[in-house]
Amino acid sequence: MKTIKKIGPYEIIREIGRGGMGVVYLAKHPTLGIDVALKAMFPDPSRPKDDPVMIKAQERFKKEAEICAKLNDPHIVTIYDCGVDDDTGIFFIAMKYLDGGSLKDLIKQKGQFTLEETLEIIQPIAKALEYVHELGIIHRDLKPGNIIFLRDNPVITDFGIAKNVKDTINTITDETGRLVGSIPYMSPERIDEKPFDHRADIYALGVLSYEMLTGTNPFAANTHTGAMKKVTTYQPPLISNEVPNIPREFANLLNNLINKESNRRPENLRELIEFDLLKIQITQIREQFEKERQRENTDRKRRERDEKARTRNQENTNVEWVIKEREIDAKRLYEIERKKQLAEESVQKESKKKGTFTLVIVIVVVLIFALSIFVFGTNKDNSETALEKLLDGYSLISESGENPNKSLALDAFYVFDDAQRKATETLLDEPSNNLAKVILIWLFNKSCG
């Protein structure tokens, strides 16, 4: 194929891409002097010019230009011109040149996108699609390769197979039998060639979003048949189960966008357009803060309960200690009182004993005195001597009564014995004297215990 240098009034600079319906060139606008993207559809030399297939293909090509010319949105490619080259019969559409590369290239380069990055691209595309749908147009071929960047702004291109919602074309092939669209982004009803509406584009945008977040298209396969089967039977996992930190609100929304039943998808893209990630994040932060606050309150209450329990236990321990100390003090006091009582009882017993002993001594003295009179009455001198001895013995007995001492008692006994011996020197023959002595000794022994 020879090199093309000019198509219509446009000078060709270089080829920048190829598609199902033609080739895209970088060209120079003849009057404005600006770079344009020139989409060219070459006639099939094997078919006559009046071939119905070629006529329909040319009509579809013109239709793309007409549709794009009606659209005025910063995220939809701008059409400058369209026509046919008289010399070659090439149909062309001159569009604004977008120099930022395609989303397809960016996905290959970047892999996965964060939710923030995904929304920065998807939400402007959703606004543009919503605008297109309001005009009754269905794009039918929304995919990463048809989203081109102008600097950082994503732009929808290639409305070549777009149709009006009133059209009844439901096939996925064109009049030449070629596949129309990209299977991994087609909705299940399109694969089954059932009637479809703008919700087919909503489905495609959902698949595109899923691919950006995960890095892979969930319906991609090695063959067209395999991809078709996955589109109609496979339900991808909830995105929040595949990618961390995805809010449940967005996960549910995306799950609805790629629902296999078209009547269960959102009627429009308003919810996606208005999805406010910052608001969701603030809500999540507030919820997290509230959870943390509740957890702190729970922990604080638990600590307070534990502290009260410890205080109670300490108080109980203190009370038990005080009770124990008091019990010990009470025992000590009881022992002291008991010892005191025993001491008093001992003193009382000693007093009683002393009193009894003194009484016995007194009785003994009286009896001894009486006996001495009886014994010593016949001899005055002996009686006087005996009386003096008795008085000495009484004195010793009195002393021994105040402070019972066996040695003193013996001294008293020796005095009495001496007195009695002197008395019996003159009254040795009288039996009463011996009897008196026996009685005196018996009384002495009793008194001395």
What mean pLDDT value characterizes the chain?
79
Distance between CA atoms of residues 207 and 200, nearest Å: 11
Q: What is the mean pLDDT of residues 412-433?
A: 52
The reported pLDDT for the residue numbered 328 is 83
Three-state SS at 6: strand
Residue 261 confidence (pLDDT) above 70:
yes
Lowest mean pLDDT among 6-15, 237-246, 308-317: 308-317
Share of the chain above pLDDT 90, in %: 35
The reported pLDDT for the residue numbered 229 is 94
What is the per-residue pLDDT across 128-161, written as a single tens digit (0 to 9) for each? 999 999 988 898 899 999 999 998 899 999 877 6
The reported pLDDT for the residue numbered 426 is 44
Q: What is the mean pLDDT of residues 164-182?
A: 59
Distance between CA atoms of residues 425 and 115, nearest Å: 147
What is the per-residue pLDDT across 191-217, written as a single tens digit (0 to 9) for each? 988 888 999 999 999 999 999 999 999
Residue 94 main-chain phi, psi, to 5 deg: -95, 120
Give the position of tokens 């090695």: 222
Q: What is the mean pLDDT of residues 328-350?
A: 81
Higher pLDDT, 98 or 322: 98
- Is 254 within 8 Å of 269 (Cβ atoms)? no
Domains of the chain with CATH codes: 1-97 (3.30.200.20), 101-275 (1.10.510.10), 283-447 (no CATH)
Share of the chain above pLDDT 70, in %: 72
Distance between CA atoms of residues 246 and 122, nearest Å: 16
The reported pLDDT for the residue numbered 184 is 94
Distance between CA atoms of residues 65 and 53, nearest Å: 19
- Is 102 within 8 Å of 145 (Cβ atoms)? yes
Place 441 in a pLDDT band, splitting at 50, 70 and 90.
Answer: low
Give the position of tokens 């009882």: 345
Distance between CA atoms of residues 422 and 418, nearest Å: 6
- Is 67 within 8 Å of 162 (Cβ atoms)? yes
Lowest mean pLDDT among 269-278, 325-334, 396-405: 396-405
Q: How many C-beta atoms lie closer than 10 Å to residue 320's C-beta?
A: 10
Sheet strands (E) in 77-218? 79-84, 91-96, 137-138, 147-150, 153-156, 163-164
H or E element, residue 329: helix 277-376
User: Taking the alpha carbons of 395, 401, 406, 410 in that order, is the dihedral positive or negative?
Assistant: positive
From the candidates 99, 141, 201, 392, which is the catalytic residue?
141
Residue 402 confidence (pLDDT) above 50:
no
- Is 190 within 8 Å of 200 (Cβ atoms)? yes
Of these ranges, 6-15, 18-27, 40-49, 86-95, the one predicted with the greatest mean pLDDT is 6-15
**Annotation says 141 is catalytic:** yes
Place 378 in a pLDDT band, splitting at 50, 70 and 90.
Answer: very low
